Amino acid sequence: MKTNVTSDVAAALSTEGVLADSSAQGSRSVNPLDLIQRWLPKLVLAPTVIMTLLFIYGYVIWTGVLSLTKSRFLPNYNFVGFAQYEKLLDNDRWSVASLNILIFGGLFILICLLIGVVMAILLDQKIRAEGSIRTVFLYPMALSFIVTGTAWKWILNPGLGLEKLVHDFGYESFQFDWLVDPDMAIYTLVIAAVWQSSGFVMALFLAGLRGVDSSIVKAAQLDGASMPMIYRRIILPHLRPVFFSAFIILSHIAIKSFDLVMALTGGGPGYATDLPATFMYVTTFSRGQIGLGSASAMMMLGVVLAILIPYLYSELRGKNNV
C-alpha cells in the first residue's frame, strides 16, 4: 500500500513538472518583447526592400523588355527581338557618344588617379594646415554636377570667362574657345569632372597611406632603400585595393554623367559632347523612341556590370580566403 502511494505521488510530481515546463516554454514562445525584437527590424526594412525591388529592379526588367519592342512615344509590346540593338549600333550619334565616353572616361579616371595619388603623398608628409588644405580639395565634391557645370560654363565662355579676363590684361591674341570647338569641347567635361572628383580620390589614397604599417617603411629605410623605391616597391602595392575602389567609383561617375553634360555643354556643339546617358535621355524623352532609348540604357547597364562583377568577385574571394 505504501509503495502504491509513493508511486502515485511521484507520478503526480512528474506530471506537474512536465506541465510547468510546457507552460514555461509556452510563455517564453509568446513573449511580446521577443516577438518585437525578432520582427521589428524586418518590418522596418520591408518597405525599403519592397520599394527597391519594385522601382529599381522592376524598372530595370521593364526597360529590358521595352528594348525588345517597337515602343516609340508610348510603350507597346510588339516584340522585334534585338532589332533595336542593331539599330542602335548603326546609329552615328550613338557611335559618337560611345567614343566620347571612352575619351572622357579614360582621361577623367587617369587624371583623377594621378592627381589624387600625388596630393595624398604630399599631405601624408605631415605638413602644416593639412586639415585646411584637405577641406579645400574636398569642397568641390560637396557640389552637385549641375553647379559644377554651370560654374565652368561661365569660366570657359570665350566672351565671359577666362579668355575675356586674359584679353582685359592686354593679351588679345590669347584664345581658349574649347567650349565652342566641336573637336575640343569633350575636354572641357574632363576639366570640370576632374576638378570636382580629384579631391575625393585624394581622400581615399590618404586614408590608404595612413593605413600602411610604418614599421615596414622604417625597416626598408634601415636597409638603405630610397623613398622613391619605398613608394614604388612597398607603399603603392599596398594601395592596390584603393586603386581598384577608386577606379570603380570613377567609372561609375563617368558612365552616369548626365547633369554635368547638360549644364556645361548641353551635348553640343551639335552632339560633339554626347555621352551614352545624354543619348539615352534625348532619344527616349525628346525624340519619342522608347525602344531605342531602352536599348541604349541596357547597353550602359551591361558596361556597369562588366565593371562591377569582377570587383565583387575579387571582394568575395578575398573574404572567403581569410
pLDDT digits (tens, 9 = 90+) for 215-231: 888 888 888 888 889 88
3-17, 28-42, 188-202, 214-228: range with lowest mean pLDDT: 3-17
Judge whether residue 209 has pLDDT over 70. yes
pLDDT of residue 145: 92
Q: Crossing angle, helix 92-123 and helix 240-255, to 10 degrees?
A: 140
At residue 69, the 3 state secondary structure works out as strand
pLDDT band at 321 (very low <50, low <70, confident <90, very high): low
Q: What integer pLDDT is reported at residue 29 of this predicted model?
A: 55
Residue 10 scores a pLDDT above 70: no
- Average pLDDT (141-169) is 89
Q: How far apart are the C-alpha atoms of 123 and 317, rounded to whole Å?
A: 33
CATH of range 83-321; options 3.65.10.10, 1.20.20.10, 3.40.50.10490, 1.10.3720.10: 1.10.3720.10
C-alpha cell at 147: 553647379
Question: Which candidate, 138, 304, 112, 97, places its Cα nearest to that of 193?
Answer: 112
Round to whole Å and give the CA distance between 136 and 153. Answer: 21
For residue 2, pLDDT over 50 is answered with: no
Q: Of 31-40, 77-86, 110-119, 166-175, give the lowest mean pLDDT range.
A: 31-40
Q: Where are the domains of the chain?
A: 17-66, 83-321
Say if CB 283 and CB 292 are below 8 A apart: yes
Residue 134: what pLDDT?
A: 85
Least confidently predicted of 2-6, 57-61, 236-240, 303-307: 2-6
Mean pLDDT within 8-36: 56
Phi, psi (degrees; rounded to nearest 5) at 174? -65, 135
| Section 57-74 average pLDDT | 91
Please state which of the ranges 91-95, 207-211, 276-280 shows the lowest mean pLDDT.
207-211
Pairwise CA distance, residues 131 & 1, whole Å: 92
The secondary structure of residue 269, as a DSSP letter, is: S
pLDDT at 18 over 60: no
Higher-pLDDT residue of 124 and 191 is 191
Distance in angstroms (rounded) separating the CA atoms of residues 178 and 198: 22
Residue-wise pLDDT for 75-120, tens only, equals 888 899 999 999 999 999 999 999 999 999 999 999 999 999 999 9
Q: What is the pLDDT of residues 188-201, one digit of tens each?
A: 999 999 999 999 99
Is residue 276 pLDDT above 50, yes or no?
A: yes
Query: What whole-number percentage of the chain has pLDDT above 70?
Result: 89
The pLDDT assigned to 129 comes to: 80
pLDDT at 318 over 80: no
Mean pLDDT of 300-315: 84
- Mean per-residue pLDDT over the chain, rounded: 86
Residue 97: CB partners within 8 Å, gap ≥ 6? 271, 274, 275, 276, 278, 279
All residues at 6 or more sequence positions from 120 whose CB lies less than 8 Å from its CB, including other chains: 202, 203, 204, 205, 206, 208, 209
